[in-house]
Amino acid sequence: MIDLYEPLAARMRPRDIDQFCGQTHLLAEGKPLREAIVQQKPHSMILWGPPGVGKTSLAQVIAHRLDVRFESLSAVMSGIKDIRAASERAEKNRELGEKTLLFVDEVHRFNKAQQDAFLPFIENGTVIFVGATTENPSFELNNALLSRCRVYVLKNLECDDLKQLAQTALNDVERGLGAQQLRISDEALNKLALHADGDARRLLNYLEIATDFVEQGDEISTSTLENLLQGETRRFDKGGDYFYDQISALHKAVRGSSPDSALYWFTRMLDGGCDPLYIARRVVRMASEDIGNADPRGLQVALSAWDVQQRLGSPEGELAIAQAVVYLACAPKSNAVYMAYKSAKKQVSNSASYEVPPHLRNAPTKLMKELGHGEEYRYAHDEPDAYAGGENYFPEQLADEKYYHPVSRGLETKIAEKLKYLRQLDKMSAWQRYDTSGKGRQHESTHSVQNAQTSQSNKDEEN
């Protein structure tokens, strides 16, 4: 009889809840999921977590503890025909007085119609549905399925959990590597757990391959692992939750003025294989959204880093991006332009298409001039300080709108002072236009404007 090979990771699957590695937030004494399993009160659920943290193993443990039939589907290999066949088998089991746990791996890969096919069998109790997904269920699963299942989040395994699992695999004679009487140094064990990156399957695969390089009874050392682990990358999953969580962490670290943590997430993404040009593009977004006019040089630094990456590639480009990340993290912060843009965008989408006021219209033809286009327009360069005080550049219906509110940080402090001064000129100009008391008041207003201009000029010289 041929001895069929079974990977160590498959052989070491836990047989009972007490053998489970990690996930104590779900399976410790008194936790709701453990109590439901122990008290044999099953319910349909979605297990959401990264690869190698025990989603399939947990489903098998639940089926074993509940003493029910275990049916398994993979959304990668299955279609509606397979769903129907599995459900029919479950119905036959039910007629025989047996329950069925239907485990669906990668459930997020099923489309809406395929996900809906499970609903009647979950609803009438034909199956205990357990779906496993590495993607956010809120985005990938339809509401009808989510409403019938409870979502449990599984976490990356801690290094201590992984080290314990490795020692168990080395000592277990029946399922593990115990018959080979292998040992592992503490340093090598730490290295192995670190490179497994929270993934039990990866850890056991590394361990199994490492045994091919040592003789029975020998020790697995760090030198044994170095060649094995060369070129391995951290978990990243471009386009998945890990990808967006890490770029979110990088953005928030820059916004929070933490250059050290920003560098950490930047290098984490590079270590996981992220395209540096993607990060460069996002860094430009950070410069506009979170630094803005508090330090306009931030946008120039970000664009320059992007340009260096395109021109020179790695490693020079990555260093330039790192420089931009640190610069932006240390720069004064302002989202005033970002908020002003959103306010203006909202105003445009929620209001009528107001006409351009006649004095702002172009008048390249005689007809347009006869229609009054451009009349009464005040050419700013012909006005004192090149500013036409009181002029309106909005549609008349929006004349008093204000979107941009500079913050009191960085260059925007000076911008705020300048805008305050210009708005004072607007008020003075309005006073002149609507005054009916004669030349005395107008002269007083003009004098006030001149004083304000002189005061601002003195301020500029002081700065």
Q: What is the tens place of the pLDDT at every residue in 142-178? A: 999 999 999 999 999 999 999 999 999 999 988 888 8
pLDDT in tens, 236-283: 555 556 778 899 999 999 999 999 999 999 999 998 888 999 999 999
- 20: pLDDT strictly greater than 70: yes
Peptide bond before 120: cis, by omega within 30 degrees of 0?
Answer: no
**What does the pLDDT look like over 172-205, one tens digit per residue?**
988 888 888 888 989 999 999 988 888 999 999 9
Q: What is the DSSP letter of 416?
A: H
pLDDT tops 80 at residue 451: no
For residue 236, what pLDDT is reported? 56
The Cα–Cα gap between 428 and 442 comes to: 10
CATH T-level assignment (fold) for domain 23-153: Rossmann fold (3.40.50)
pLDDT of residue 2: 46
pLDDT category at 311 given cuts 50, 70, 90 is: very high
Domain boundaries of the chain, sorted by first residue = 23-153, 159-229, 244-330, 338-462
CA nearest 122: which of 94, 97, 96, 95? 94
Residue 364 banded pLDDT, cuts 50, 70, 90? confident
C-alpha to C-alpha distance for 184 and 207, rounded to whole angstroms = 10
For position 446, what pLDDT does the model report? Answer: 39
| pLDDT of 453 strictly over 70 | no
The CA angle 56-57-62, to the nearest 5 degrees, is 100
Q: Which helix (H) or strand (E) holds 250?
A: helix 241-255
159-229: in CATH 3.40.1280.10: no
What average pLDDT does the segment 22-32 reach? 92
- pLDDT, residue 212, reads 81
Predicted local distance difference test score (pLDDT) of residue 242? 72
3-state helix, strand, coil in the chain (%, to 5): 60, 5, 35
Pairing label, strands 69-74, 100-105 = parallel
CA dihedral 12, 17, 22, 25 (to 10 degrees): 160
What pLDDT does residue 271 have? 85
Q: Closest by alpha carbon to 220, among 193, 187, 250, 265?
A: 187
Amino acid at 182: L
**Among candidates 82, 149, 88, which has minimal Cα distance to 119?**
149
- Give percent above pLDDT 70 in the chain: 89
Residues 62 and 89: beta-carbon distance below 8 Å: no
Give the DSSP letter string of 108-175: GGS-HHHHHTTHHHHHTTSEEEEEEESS-HHHHS-HHHHHTSEEEE--PPPHHHHHHHHHHHHH-TTT
CA angle in degrees (0–180, nearest 5) for 65-76-33: 25
Q: Which two tokens stand for residue 401?
A: 């709108």
| pLDDT for residue 166 | 94
The stretch 456-460 carries a mean pLDDT of 45
Secondary structure (3-state) at 101: strand
Q: Indicate the Cα dihedral angle 268, 272, 278, 281, nearest 10°.
A: 0
pLDDT of residue 443: 36
User: What is residue 42's predicted lDDT score, i.e. its pLDDT?
Assistant: 87
| CATH code that applies to domain 244-330 | 1.20.272.10
So what's the architecture of 338-462 in CATH?
Orthogonal Bundle (1.10)
pLDDT, one tens digit per residue, over 281-295 is 999 999 999 999 999
Mean pLDDT of 50-74: 93
Does the pLDDT of residue 351 top 90, yes or no?
no
Contacts of 102 (CB under 8 A, 6+ apart): 71, 72, 73, 86, 87, 90, 118, 121, 127, 128, 129, 130
219: number of Cβ within 10 Å: 11
Residue 454 has pLDDT above 50, yes or no: no
- What is the model's pLDDT at position 456? 43
